[in-house]
């Protein structure tokens, strides 16, 4: 992957209306300078970042899960968080040098100022006051030089899939930790989404090592069905219109990545008392979740918040063991996706706007992953 040129003297920021996501614009202002850094601060130039349906979920859940608070904007506008790589271009933090490559959680912008705390050889946490009460999993930044997952030639896949795969890993772990909530069938909506694929991959790959007997069913659109079937992660792949063909007598758990309220209602009514768990994860169809009835038969829907399961396992396993387990699973998943995923770069403000609007509209090929940058036009 080609690296961007040195950052300009202008800071570019992509903002959206927090209630009307289709309304977006780009702001330009003088970039922070090294002279403006306070003791202990870093200035990062955000090089490239991934943009997927997961980022639309951050916007859709921005108020409820506090995503808007990481990178505050003014008035009715918000800055959507993204995962990517940045370079240290100025440092007043002992032990972190100019030129370091840093992976982590960034604004859709060209620059970010952070205040590292808990600095180690491997990582640091942004201790900026407005982020201290927010989940640490989003505040931790990884120093690429010693990151066991990092490879320069797979940066794009790391940006696109690492945060999604971590959620997939935690979902798989959460369900196995809870004995699948007594279910014999797991139904994953938006089966072509990258987080759903990651979970299905882990459920399929590790099934022989587990004592649980389960089937993994993927629900997707007619357009994506052939692609999803070709990957071999699901035992069965059905179109959304075929929900009622599933056996309603089988104890079933739903993992809803789609966020379509009407579909969620159909699933609840179909399985009724045999629905043992209803897990809400994403909002690929962010504008449709409101279509779900207030009262649904079966298990009440519950939102999955990945940091909660991560904190549980960090406490039980320890940080090093947790990272090693994720890294081991990631290596096998990377081999899997490397065979079919296409990466496209969209550099500059106009390109970022185009990809944002396409993703918002759900008009993205599931085989394509987009890498954006606001550092060059």
Residues 89, 98 contacting (CB under 8 angstroms):
yes
Please report the sign of the dihedral spanned by the C-alpha atoms of residue 55, residue 82, residue 114, residue 19. negative
Q: Residue 373 pLDDT more than 80?
A: yes
Domains of the chain, earliest start first: 10-150+344-373 (3.90.180.10), 164-307 (3.40.50.720)
Q: How far is CA 251 from the centre of its chain?
A: 29
Q: Is the pLDDT of residue 377 over 60?
A: no
Gap between the Cα atoms of 157 and 18, Å rounded = 28
**pLDDT greater at residue 267 or residue 65:** 267
**Per residue in 308-346, pLDDT tens?**
999 999 899 988 888 889 989 999 999 899 888 899 999
Cα separation, 133 vs 312, in Å, equals 18
Confidence at residue 288, expressed as pLDDT on a 0 to 100 scale: 46
Give the pLDDT mean for 57-79. 94
**Average of pLDDT values for 138-156?**
91
Alpha-carbon distances of 124 from 229, 293, 350, 376, rounded to whole Å: 41, 43, 33, 28
Q: What sign has the CA pseudo-torsion 283, 330, 145, 345?
A: negative
With bands split at pLDDT 50, 70 and 90, how would you rate the model's confidence at 35? Answer: very high
List, for residues 218-259, the tens digit of each pLDDT value: 999 999 999 999 999 999 999 999 999 999 999 999 999 988
What pLDDT sits at residue 287? 46
- Per the model's pLDDT, the better-predicted residue between 163 and 159 turns out to be 159
Mean pLDDT computed over 99-107 = 97
In this prediction, residues 248-271 reach a mean pLDDT of 94
Quickly tell me which residue has 């692609």 as its tokens: 227
- Amino acid 324: pLDDT: 86
Report whether 83 contacts 58 (CB < 8 A).
no
User: CA 285, CA 263: separation in Å to the nearest integer?
Assistant: 11
């Amino acid at each position: 992957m080609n690296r961007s040129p040195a950052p300009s003297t202008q800071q570019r920021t992509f903002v959206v209306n927090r209630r009307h996501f289709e309304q977006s614009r780009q702001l330009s202002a003088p970039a922070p300078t090294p002279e403006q850094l306070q003791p202990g601060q870093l200035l990062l130039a955000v090089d490239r970042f991934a943009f997927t349906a997961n980022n639309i979920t951050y916007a859709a859940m921005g108020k409820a899960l506090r995503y808007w608070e990481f990178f505050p904007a003014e008035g009715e506008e918000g800055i959507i968080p993204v995962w990517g790589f940045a370079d240290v271009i100025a440092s007043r933090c002992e032990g972190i040098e100019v030129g370091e490559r840093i992976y982590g959680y960034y604004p859709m912008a060209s620059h970010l100022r952070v205040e590292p705390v808990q600095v180690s050889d491997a990582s640091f946490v942004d201790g900026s006051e407005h982020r201290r009460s927010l989940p640490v999993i989003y505040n931790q930044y990884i120093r690429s030089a010693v990151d066991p997952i990092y490879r320069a030639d797979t940066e794009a896949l790391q940006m696109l899939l690492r945060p999604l795969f971590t959620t997939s890993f935690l979902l798989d772990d959460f369900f196995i930790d809870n004995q699948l909530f007594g279910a014999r069938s797991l139904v994953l909506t938006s089966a072509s989404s990258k987080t759903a694929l990651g979970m299905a991959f882990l459920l399929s790959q590790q099934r022989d090592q587990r004592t649980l007997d389960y089937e993994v069913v993927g629900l997707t659109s007619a357009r994506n069905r052939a692609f999803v079937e070709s990957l071999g992660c699901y035992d069965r792949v059905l179109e959304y219109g075929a929900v009622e063909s599933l056996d309603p007598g089988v104890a079933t758990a739903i993992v809803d990545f789609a966020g379509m309220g009407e579909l969620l209602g159909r699933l609840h009514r179909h399985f009724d008392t045999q629905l043992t768990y209803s897990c809400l994860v994403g909002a690929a169809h962010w504008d449709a979740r409101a279509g779900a009835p207030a009262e649904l038969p079966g298990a009440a829907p519950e939102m999955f918040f990945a940091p909660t399961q991560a904190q549980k396992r960090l406490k039980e396993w320890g940080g090093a063991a947790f990272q090693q387990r994720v890294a081991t699973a990631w290596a096998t998943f990377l081999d899997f996706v490397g065979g079919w995923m296409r990466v496209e770069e969209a550099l500059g403000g106009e390109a970022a706007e185009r990809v944002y609007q396409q993703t918002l509209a759900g008009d993205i090929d599931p085989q394509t992953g987009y890498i954006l940058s606001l550092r060059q036009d």
